[in-house]
Every structure is written in C-alpha cells, then in structure tokens.
C-alpha cells in the first residue's frame, strides 16, 4: 500500500508539473509569435516604403534626362540584391509607367527589349484601381501596400509539420503572399505626375520568422519539460522523506509506550481444573478424613441423649 501511494503521488506530480510546463510554452509561443509578426510586418512595410520613395526620388531626375536604360539597370540590381536578403524579403519586379499606361522602365529585361517609341500602351493597367489611386496621390505620400491583383507566385502558407498546421489559424497574417506598393513621380518644378512606379514584393520575412518561432518552441518545450521532471523528482523525494520520518517516529513512540507498561500481579483467586484421576482420589480421601470427626460427634450426641433419658427415668421413678 505504501509503494502504491508513492507511485500514484509521483504520477500525479509528473502530470501536474508537465501540464504547467506545456501551458507556459504554448502561451510564450503565442505571445512572442504574435508580437514578432506584428513588429516584422511593420518593419517590412517601412522598409518597402523607404525603398519606393527612394526609387521615386531617383527616377524623378532620370525621367527628365530620358535615362531609362539606367533605370532598367538600377531596378534589376535591386531585384538581384534582395535574392540574398537574410530575411528572405524578395522583390519580384519594379516597373515604371506613364499615366497613360506606357511602360518606361522595368527590372525585367525581356519587357523593355523594344524601343520606347514602338511599345504599346497597356490599357488594362489604366483601369486598375491602384493605378488610378497612384496618379492621384500627393508627392512623397506614403502608400499602403496591398495584395497584388495578378500575383506571379501564389499565396502559400508556412511549411510546417502536420501537427502544427492547426496553429496557423491563430495567425492569419503568416502567409507568403505577393504584395504591391506604388508611388507617383512628379515633375521637379511643376505639380504634374510624370510616371507611376510599381513594386511587387513578397513579405517572406514573416514566413521565416514563424519557422524560427517553431524551432524556438521545440527548444522551450524540451527545456521546460526537463525542468518539470526535475521538480517532480525533488518533490517526490521530499514526500518520501516526510513519510519515512513520520513512520520512524511513530515506531519509536510505540516502543516507548511498551517499555513504560508495568507487569500486572497474578490474581488472588485462580480457577484450576484437574483432570488427573490420582489427584481427584486424593481429594476424596481428604474429604473422608475431614468428615470423620463429624460422625464421631454425632455418635457422642446420641450416647449422651440416651444417658440423659436414663437419668430422667431414674429421677421420675
């Protein structure tokens, strides 16, 4: 019974501390991932805004000089540099359009092979809401990024194990989706919109962040589980020592009580049963000897009575 109680107590302690460790890991993972995703999303937004404004400022001078070949080289270089970005923040394309939809420069060399005079106007892009909005924006105004209407790469979720895919429901923004940001390019001296710059990029830094968070969660789970197991063993040993000390003290108290007890004296009268025939015959013989004086006394009384009767007869006669 004592061993069973120790086993049950150890099992209960293990479940209790491991559940606390698991809850702490999950809550830490949720809070850290949520805050990190928000922070990284803000950082990526500021990063792409700074880039689009810097390119707009650089393109403003080049448009006046009709240096579109230099813009093509600059845009292509930016796209190539982002492929080696440590946060996997990729830029897919950078394009420069006139307000009427004519392509002036692009990071893709195959799109600007023809001469500027031979290029046709893209009427489809002039009907897009984001293009019309870009033409109405103020100078140096920050634009809000939005999902690309014609993404080259489909929106994909984070590559995770099967057991962890349900956790993504808590983070709807953790997707590698292609986004679009734009800015107008004004004339240096006039308030005329000369062109619109469009940048499509993939905010894959959120993807990488979430993958790193899952690696961190696995390490936290191992460490917290180990600590919980050690605490379980320590608490179980304390419980075992408490029971052992309590039991030893109880045994010592019982020994002291037994030593203090006095031996009771034998009873005054003790009932005995004799089954030996010789003893019984001796008892009968003793009883016979004791009964003899009584018989003699009776004989004496009879003789005395007879003598008294004779005396009375003589006296009466």
270 lies in a domain?
no
Q: Check residue 284 and give its pLDDT.
A: 47
pLDDT tens profile 122-180: 888 888 888 888 888 888 787 777 777 665 555 455 566 666 667 777 776 666 677 88
- Tell me the range of 74-83, 288-297, 301-310 where mean pLDDT is highest: 74-83
Query: Do 166 and 280 fall into the same domain?
Result: no
Q: Higher confidence at residue 202 or residue 163?
A: 202
Both 166 and 311 in one domain: the answer is no
Q: On the CB side of 36, how many CA atoms lie within 13 Å of its CA?
A: 18
Could you tell me the pTM of the whole model? 0.61
Q: Has residue 298 been placed in a domain?
A: yes
Q: Is the pLDDT score of 10 beyond 60?
A: yes
Mean pLDDT of the region 196-213 = 78
pLDDT of residue 234: 92
User: Which tens digit of pLDDT belongs to each residue from 223-259?
Assistant: 999 999 999 999 889 888 888 887 777 666 666 656 5
The answer to whether residues 210 and 302 belong to one domain is no
Sort residue 159 into left (φ over 0), alpha (ψ -120 to 50) or beta: beta
Range of the domain at 167: 2-227
Give the chain's mean pLDDT. Answer: 76
pLDDT at position 230 is 93
pLDDT band at 314 (very low <50, low <70, confident <90, very high): very low
Report DSSP state, residue 265. Answer: P
Residues 306 and 199 in one domain: no
Q: 61-65, 215-219, 294-298 — which is least confidently predicted?
A: 294-298
For residues 44 and 177, state if they share a domain: yes
Q: What is the pLDDT of residue 315?
A: 44
Q: How far apart are CA 132 and CA 126, in angstroms?
A: 7
> 175: closest CA among 207, 210, 214, 202?
207
- Interaxial angle between packed helices 2-65 and 205-260, expressed in degrees from 0 to 180 and rounded to the nearest 10: 160
How far is it, in rounded angstroms, from Cα 159 to Cα 155? Answer: 12
Q: Domain boundary at 203, 227, 251, which?
A: 227
- Identify the domain boundary among 187, 202, 227: 227
Number of H-type helices and E-type strands within the chain: 6, 7
Is there a single domain that holds both residue 26 and residue 156?
yes
> Tell me: the pLDDT tens digits for 40-55?
778 888 888 888 888 8
> Using 50, 70 and 90 to split pLDDT, how confident is the model at 204?
low
Residue 47: its H or E element: helix 2-65
Structure tokens at 132: 């019309």
171 domain residue, yes or no = yes
Structural domain count of the chain: 2
Same domain, 74 and 140: yes
* Selection from 42, 30, 55, 40 nearest residue 86 by Cα: 40
Statement: residue 289 has pLDDT above 70: no
**Other CB atoms closer than 10 Å to residue 206's CB: what's the count?**
25
CATH of the domain at 53: 3.30.450.20
Separation of alpha carbons 86 and 40, rounded Å: 13
With a CB cutoff of 8 Å and minimum separation 6, the contacts of 40 are 205, 206, 209
Q: What's the pLDDT at 171?
A: 72
The backbone region for 190, taken as left when phi is positive above 0, alpha when psi lies in -120 to 50, beta otherwise, is beta
User: Does 218 reside within a domain?
Assistant: yes
Sheet holding 89-97, edge to edge: 103-106, 89-97, 193-203, 178-186, 146-147
Looking at residues 256-283, what average pLDDT do you find?
Answer: 54
User: Based on the domain organization, do 53 and 186 belong to the same domain?
Assistant: yes
Q: What is the mean pLDDT of residues 281-295?
A: 47
* Strand 178-186, strand 193-203: pairing: antiparallel
Residue in the block written with tokens 């197991």: 229
Which residues, listed in sequence order, are joined to residue 156 by a DSSP beta bridge?
176
In-domain check, residue 147: yes
Helices (H), 109-204: 123-126, 129-136
> What confidence category does residue 274 fall into, taking pLDDT thresholds of 50, 70 and 90?
low
Q: How many CB atoms lie within 10 A of CB 48?
A: 20
- Residue 254 counted as domain residue: no
Among the listed residues 141, 146, 113, the one whose alpha carbon sits nearest the alpha carbon of residue 128:
146
In a domain? residue 242: no
Q: Give percent of the chain with pLDDT exceeding 90.
A: 9
């Amino acid at each position: 019974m004592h061993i069973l109680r120790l086993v049950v107590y150890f099992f209960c302690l293990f479940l209790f501390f491991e559940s606390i460790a698991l809850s702490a890991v999950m809550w830490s993972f949720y809070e850290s991932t949520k805050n990190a995703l928000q922070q990284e999303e803000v950082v990526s937004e500021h990063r792409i805004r700074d880039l689009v404004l810097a390119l707009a400022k650089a393109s403003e001078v080049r448009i006046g000089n009709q240096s579109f070949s230099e813009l093509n080289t600059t845009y292509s270089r930016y796209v190539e540099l982002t492929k080696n970005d440590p946060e996997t923040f990729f830029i897919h394309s950078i394009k420069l359009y006139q307000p009427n939809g004519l392509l002036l420069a692009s990071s893709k060399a195959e799109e600007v092979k023809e001469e500027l005079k031979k290029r046709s106007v893209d009427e489809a892009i002039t009907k897009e809401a984001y293009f019309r909005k870009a033409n109405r924006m103020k100078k140096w105004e920050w634009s809000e990024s939005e999902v690309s209407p014609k993404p080259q790469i489909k929106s994909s979720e984070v590559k995770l194990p099967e057991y962890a895919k349900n956790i993504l429901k808590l983070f709807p923004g953790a997707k590698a989706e292609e986004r679009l940001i734009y800015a107008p390019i004004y004339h240096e001296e006039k308030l005329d919109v000369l062109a619109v710059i469009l940048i499509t990029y993939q905010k894959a830094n959120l993807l990488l962040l979430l993958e790193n968070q899952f690696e961190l969660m696995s390490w936290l789970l191992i460490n917290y589980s180990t600590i919980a197991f050690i605490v379980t063993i320590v608490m179980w040993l304390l419980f075992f020592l408490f029971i052992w000390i309590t039991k030893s003290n109880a045994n010592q108290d019982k020994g002291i009580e037994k030593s203090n007890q006095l031996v009771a004296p034998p009873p005054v009268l003790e009932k005995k049963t004799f089954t030996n025939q010789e003893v019984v015959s001796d008892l009968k013989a003793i009883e016979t000897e004791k009964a003899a004086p009584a018989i003699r006394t009776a004989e004496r009384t009879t003789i005395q009575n007879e003598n008294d009767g004779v005396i009375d007869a003589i006296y009466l006669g």
